[in-house]
Chain A
Amino acid sequence: GDSVTQMEGPVTLSEEAFLTINCTYTATGYPSLFWYVQYPGEGLQLLLKATKADDKGSNKGFEATYRKETTSFHLEKGSVQVSDSAVYFCALVNNDMRFGAGTRLTVKP
């Protein structure tokens, strides 16, 4: 069945560092791909999405490109802030919605 694998955390960075969180997927057909963010004590919020190959999703300085050839959707941000500290989930939607295990990011001042 479909599945999502994302890099294990936790990830700890200093403010203004470059962020990459890797995400790869296994799916038949053409899934849509998403990144969700969960701040402490809150539900998940959609961060960005891409619905077809080579689409780039972007929001709040975060970007991810749907790479069908490598079945990947890595999340990147050029300069993280303390307020970016959260858990990030990669997800796909095909026949149903599958989430990765989540990566906890802590950004230190």
Chain B
Amino acid sequence: DSGVTQTPKHLITATGQRVTLRCSPRSGDLSVYWYQQSLDQGLQFLIQYYNGEERAKGNILERFSAQQFPDLHSELNLSSLELGDSALYFCASSVGEGRSYNEQFFGPGTRLTVL
């Protein structure tokens, strides 16, 4: 158990809909990262937040957005969903802001299926 929790575990929805994925980092970790894992694209970094502020952006679509709240939990919002958004979405957390020397601890993931 990494200490990172994600809800829900599974999510099934229809095209065009909007969903929110939630992540609670390990106690004491200030950084939260979101990743998408799909069969065709592999594991892709989406976005990082540190202590409530956006720190880095990866391959995140404009239809997707995220935020980190004062209690440090984070939410990833996916809107106008398409079939291709079906994937496993991971959240990870680390103590510090810089990514080079901070081990990231991954949650169990949320499996999103868009029908």
Contact = CB atoms under 8 A, between A and B. Distances in A.
Partners in one complex: yes
Interface of A: 31-32, 36, 41-46, 49, 51, 89, 93-102
A42 B108 CA distance: 5
Interface of B: 2, 4, 33, 42-45, 48, 56, 58, 90, 92, 99-101, 103-109
A89 B2 CA distance: 18
Contacts of A32: 100-101
A49 B43 CA distance: 18
Contact of B43 (A41, A95, A99): A99
Contacts, number: 50
A105 B101 CA distance: 27
- 4 closest cross-chain pairs (CB), A and B: A43-B106, A99-B43, A44-B106, A32-B100
29 contacts: A31-B100, A36-B106, A43-B2, A43-B90, A43-B92, A43-B106, A43-B108, A43-B109, A44-B90, A44-B92, A44-B106, A46-B103, A46-B104, A46-B105, A49-B103, A51-B100, A89-B43, A93-B100, A95-B56, A96-B48, A96-B58, A97-B58, A97-B99, A97-B104, A98-B45, A99-B42, A99-B44, A102-B42, A102-B43
